[in-house]
Structure 1
Amino acid sequence: MTLEAVKNEGLAGDAQVSRASLAIAAFSTIVEWYDFTLYLYFATVLARVFFGPGEASLLVTLGGFAVAYLMRPLGAVFFGHIGDRSGRRHMLLVSVALMTAAMFATALLPTYAQVGSAAGVLLILLRCVMGFSVGGEYTGVVAYLLEGAPEGRRGLIASSASAASEIGALLAVGISAITVASMSEADLANWGWRIPFLVGAALAGSVWIARSAMEESPEFQRQLAERTVPDSPLRHSIANHRGGIARAFAISSLGSITYYVGITYVPAFLTSAGSRTETASLWLSTAAAVVVILVTPLTGILSDRIGRKRILVVLAVGSALLPATMFALMASGSHAQAAAGALVLAALAGGVSAVGAVATAEQFPGEGRVTGLALGATMATAIFGGLTPYVAQLLVQRTGWTMAPGAMIALVSLCVLPIFLLMKETAPRKTSA
């Protein structure tokens, strides 16, 4: 394609990528969320395999998850630089290649029974590699979907990344449940735990192959044509997008804590505080994943029709009022009450993730968008995603207060609600009205 053709295409207001490229981008988030959700859903098993017996092993395992998440902002800035300088497609190919290698290496690790404490160290090191590579994944995909989607359907199409990621979570919990239920505890510790990670490595390799056929984002083509690609995306974003970074941080803070405490921490909570078996907890989480998949596109469509701001405000209020009670139900109620609590939390988290995907990306213009998302959204995810399951488990163990995880969600909700009330609407139909 000539420079003039690129310029004409990039300047077109309705420039889009093909449906095939949008589908590949959206559904490739399956791998990222499969891996990180697998780690949390499989936390009680990994604790025994890599850190030995004892209650402290689970806390250390969740601590390893938190440490790995601290690598996400570094990876996000690194891959954001690639995405803003060399293109969204190139960034997504490099990040998934590194993910594939890290997941395959995890499946080959020795266990605590084989090499002692070195096993746990190696696991956490590979989690850090995974956290670094995942740093640019979700933000890159959301930016690509926003830039390639028709203007009036951005909410729906960007939310598809959240729905697809939950399919990854559903695969993770389903494969974990099948693996745990189909073998003895001895076989699970000896070799069975490797199966879900081998599946993940195969998924990641398949995504790399599919992404190699993707088109480049029309927004990045426009920047090439107009020669507006920032020389230093990090410096450009800090200088020009500070407000957008702050708003993206707030939106992602709520999305992260509702998801990681309200969904992925729930199996460990049910096992340790709710007296549920690992198998029962994992199957309940499967049902929660289905709820998220159903809620996500509906929320995306609604955000295109009535705007992002209204939905964010409603979800923030709901997240302030409901989670503490839901955790109390899961801890002390019947199986039906535990299911109700888990499903309500899943619906809240799914809604925030759906509208949050497009709302965070719309806080930035095309130049420096991926880096801006890295500084805002990914930094919030590192704090309110990676650290919160560890903090929630610590609070429950130290205080015995089973409503503590819900109180954490409520506190973040109340902090971000004023920002949502003051922010401008970003949905194209609402801003042009």
Structure 2
Amino acid sequence: MQAHSTPTQPLPTRSLAVAALFTIVEWYDFTLYLYFATVLSRVFFGGGAVGLGDALAGFAVAYLMRPVGAIVFGHIGDRYGRRPTMILSMGMMTAAMLATAMLPTHAQVGPAAGWMMIGLRCLMAFSVGGEYTGVVAYLLEGARAERRGLVTSLASAASEVGALLAAGVSALTVASLDEGALAAWGWRIPFLVGAALAGIILLARSTMEESPDFLRQQAQATTPRSPLRHSLRHHRAAIGRGFAISALGSISYYVGITYVPSFLSAMGTTGEADALWLSTLAALAVILVTPLTGLLTDRIGRRPVLVGLAIAGVVLPMLLFLLMRGGFGLALAGAVVLACLGGAVSAVGAVATAEQFPGEGRLSGLAFGATSATALFGGLTPWLAHHLLEASGWAPAPGAMIAIVALCVLPVLVMLPETAPRKSKKADPVAGRPF
């Protein structure tokens, strides 16, 4: 990392709050798809184990568009500013969610319904690719140095609010309608809610100010002409570290949190409605854990928190997935602990990955490292966990996936340079920002 002078005008708290809150839509949509996977498998893919597998495979294929979107939006954000990136991505997300709510079903048009759903999933993933990295960079660059962990973790906390909304709306929809009404029209309700929320957020986001670090780059004429080439040339090691951190965060979140309702339904532990209500309670727990983790990283550093969470990721997940077969009470306990683990990793991962890069080329660096890992260890892993469970019948199989990744990235985390300003002697490229 390299030192840069700080801007004279800080970001107002309102702009930081607006940016932090608006990861809600991104995670509402993707969490909704996974929480609603068993319903959508019947509506679009014909139902049964094959239909659920196709629904999860569609999620995985679409998620591969996320790093493509991150690269495109990363170039825009690094060349033209964080603000236009976040406005454009939110506009595309609004359109994709509204179009999803209007799709015909499998009963109406046959297999074409599934292909149309996958196509809109790809569009959504492409737009989301630039959303989260843009928000994380914006929060990091606008926060006071000693509060970067807390402020940047708010992006993860807000995403959990989106997950909570997805679980709550899904559970309420499933519990309120019979099977016929749910398949005929009820499934559209959660997507219409998301489209309306995205539209409101798009309007509010237009009032945000530009990142002070990007304004500093413009004033000093240091904005890279080719951010992608700049990141690959100067920050390859940082890209690798960001990939490792995000790999652990992604598999902990997508297998340890969003796959859990499908796991509980597949194992016969709970019905669809109970599994979704359980996930709602787990999301509440994560919302509490996330900012606490951010605060902890500001006090003791990013590296010790990441190392501790990786060790927990090796030890706990298999036991917790086995525990969740024991009835609703044990399922709730296991799901909450898994969710807290995934949320904590996401909280520290947000700030730790972004701090690997200076402001110049930051979004492009995150696209190559963090977002690529999310595509592989986030989008593919629910589908893989489902097939491993189907093939083996071994309940701890999804937990074993988390444990293997945690074990592989642990050496990288042990050697990770400390980036928390209070713990690092290195120059701070975004220090001095007020909260």
* Shorter-chain TM-score above 0.5: yes
Instruction: Give the alignment partner of residue 267 of structure 2, picking from 254, 260, 273.
Output: 273
CA contact (8 A) 1:106 1:123 kept: yes
Are 1:262 and 2:256 counterparts? Answer: yes
Distance (Å, rounded) in 2 between the aligned partners of 1:126 and 1:161 = 24
1:29 match: 23
1:339 maps to which of 332, 344, 350: 332
Q: 1:68, CA displacement in angstroms?
A: 0.7
Q: d(CA) in 2 for partners of 1:240 and 1:206?
A: 39
Superposition pairs of residues 178-257 of structure 1, within 5 angstroms: 178-257=172-251
Number of the residue aligned with 1:127: 121
Residue pairs, 1:27-426, within 5 angstroms: 27-331=21-325, 333-426=326-419
Kindly tell me the number of residue pairs found equivalent between the two proteins: 423
Q: CA deviation at 1:230?
A: 0.5
| Residues 293/14 of structure 1: CA separation in 2 closer, same or farther (3 Å cut) | farther
Deviation, structure 1 residue 52: 1.2
Whether contact under 8 Å (1:303, 1:355) holds in the other structure is yes
The answer to whether the 8 Å contact 1:14/1:151 transfers is: no
| SS of equivalent to 1:135 | helix
Take 2:64 and 2:7, find their aligned partners in 1: how far apart are those partners? 38
| 8 A Cα contact 2:269 2:327, kept in partner | no
Gapped runs of 5+ residues in structure 1? 1-9
Counterpart amino acid of 1:323? P
Residues 269 and 328 of structure 2 are in contact (CA less than 8 Å); yes or no, is this contact kept in structure 1? no
Residue 14 of structure 1 and its aligned partner are, at CA, apart by: 7.4
Query: CA offsets, 1:164-191, max 9 Å, x none?
Result: 0000000000000000000111000000
Post-superposition CA distance 1:51-98 (Å, at most 9, x none): 113220000000000001000000000000000000000000000000
Contact 1:43–1:268 under 8 Å retained in 2: yes
Structure 2: segments with no counterpart, 5+ residues:
427-435
Q: What is the CA-CA distance between 1:275 and the residue it aligns to?
A: 3.0
Partners of 1:360 and 1:30 in 2: how far apart? 20
Runs of 4+ with deviation above 2 angstroms: 10-16
Question: Are the aligned partners of 1:14 and 1:150 in contact in 2 as well (CA < 8 Å)?
Answer: no
Aligned equivalents of 2:124 and 2:99: distance in 1? 11
Alignment of 1:8-23 (within 5 A): 11-12=5-6, 16-23=10-17
Whether the aligned pair in 2 keeps the contact of 1:15 and 1:148 (CA below 8 Å) is no
Please state how far the C-alpha of 1:13 moved relative to its aligned partner.
6.1
SS where residue 430 of structure 1 aligns? coil
The letter for the 2-side match of 1:244 is A
Post-superposition shift, 1:394? 0.2
Q: Say if 1:26 and 1:145, in contact at 8 Å, map to a contact too.
A: yes
2:234 partner amino acid: N
What is the deviation of 1:105?
0.2
Query: What CA deviation, in whole Å up to 9, does each residue of 1:187-224 have, x standing for no partner?
Result: 00000000000010011111111110000001000100
CA distance in 2, matches of 1:318, 1:426: 22
Q: TM-score, normalised by structure 2?
A: 0.96
Query: For 1:16 and 1:245, how far apart are their aligned partners in 2?
Result: 28
CA drift at 1:16? 2.8
Rounded Cα–Cα distance in structure 2 between residues aligned with 1:389 and 1:207? 29
* Cα separation, 2, equivalents of 1:15 and 1:286: 40
Counterpart amino acid of 1:174?
G
Counterpart contact for 1:109–1:119, Cα < 8 Å: yes
